[in-house]
Amino acid sequence: MALHIQNGRRLVISDRFHAHRHGFLARNAGFTYIFALLLTAILSLSAAGAASIWHIESRRQAEVELLFIGHQFRSAIGAYYIKNKKYPMSLQDLLGTPDAAGTKARFLRKLYRDPLSGKAEWGLVPAGNAGIAGVYSLSSAEPIKVAEFSSQDKTFEGASKYSEWKFIYVPRFIPTNQDGVMFPLPRP
């Protein structure tokens, strides 16, 4: 029997009511446990979905960076070619080489890291035996973007891996030597 005091008066509550009350709580305790399990499962699935979306979004961002960096390399190789009438022999040459007057011309601000691998290592597209005509990522991952590229990147459409995205500078005029023999052009 339970005894409660209210406003100075003693109230007696029967054991029957008390037992009924505890039985009711005991029955609901099972439902609370199941609800907690379901809530945990739903939160876990939501977190997994958010992680998946974050991963895809980070890959898309890396693709945008790769396109930007590739264009920077292509432009720098083009500027080097226009100024020196030859392709650079290494990517380091794009950071600046002294010309005949002794001034150092920079064509690229820095050697960028590959945003997909995080390394400063790039695949090099040879310009015949005359230097480097372009760069590409060494990543073999499948790209998310496969269409709607700019006109200079149309060759990227339908590529099955990032290493097929080759950022190559091709001169507008075909270079020839003193005898008028054409140099081999790099192929995308």
Span 115-161, pLDDT tens digits? 998 898 999 999 877 899 999 999 999 998 888 888 889 889 989 99
Domain for residue 183, yes or no? no
Question: What is the residue type of 110?
Answer: K
In a domain, 187, yes or no: no
Instruction: Give the containing element (helix H, strand E) for 15.
Output: helix 15-84
Q: In this structure, are 7 and 83 located in the same domain?
A: no
Summarize the confidence of residues 99-106 as an average pLDDT: 74
> How far is the C-alpha of 48 from the C-alpha of 140, rounded, in Å?
25
Same domain, yes or no, for 9 and 85? no
Q: Do 66 and 32 lie in a common domain? A: no
Examine the pLDDT at 17 and tell me if it is beyond 90: no
Does the pLDDT at position 112 exceed 60?
A: yes
Tell me whether residue 94 is in a domain. yes
The tally of domains found in the chain comes to 2
b vs e for 112-130, b when ≥16 Cβ sit within 10 Å of the residue's Cβ? bebbbeeeeebeebebeee
Residue with the larger pLDDT of the pair 102 and 166: 166
Q: With b meaning 16 or more CB within 10 Å and e meaning fewer, what string describes 155-179?
A: ebeebeebbebbbbbbbeeebeeee
Residues 27 and 64 occupy one common structural domain: no
pTM value > 0.75: no
Binned at pLDDT 50, 70 and 90, residue 54 comes out as confident
Instruction: Please give the residue range of the domain that contains residue 62.
Output: 58-168
- Confirm whether 51 is domain-assigned: no
Residue 182 lies in a domain: no
Q: Does residue 163 lie within any of the structural domains?
A: yes
pLDDT at position 20 over 70: no
Query: What pLDDT score does 131 carry?
Result: 92
Whether 71 has a pLDDT exceeding 70, the answer reads: yes
Mean pLDDT value across residues 13-42: 67
Scanning the structure block, which residue is given the tokens 């305790």? Answer: 29
Q: Do 164 and 101 reside in the same domain of the chain?
A: yes
Judgement on whether residues 92 and 138 belong to the same structural domain of the protein: yes
Residue 135 covered by a domain: yes
Asked if residue 107 and residue 77 are part of one domain, the reply reads: yes
Task: Reduce the DSSP state of residue 64 to 3 states and report it.
Answer: helix
The Cα 57–Cα 28 span in angstroms is 43
Q: Are 169 and 77 in contact (CB under 8 A)?
A: yes
Does 180 reside within a domain? no
Of 186, 141, 134, give the one whose Cα is nearest residue 160: 141
Q: Are residues 66 and 142 in the same domain?
A: yes
**109 and 81 within one domain:** yes
Q: How many angstroms from the chain centroid is the CA of residue 95?
A: 25
pLDDT class of 182 with cuts at 50, 70, 90: low
Residue 34 banded pLDDT, cuts 50, 70, 90: confident
Q: Are residues 29 and 104 in the same domain?
A: no
Q: Contact at 8 Å (CB) between 80 and 88?
A: yes
**pLDDT tens column, 73-91:** 999 999 998 888 889 999 9
pLDDT at 175 over 60: no
Same structural domain for residues 90 and 138? yes
pLDDT at position 101 is 73
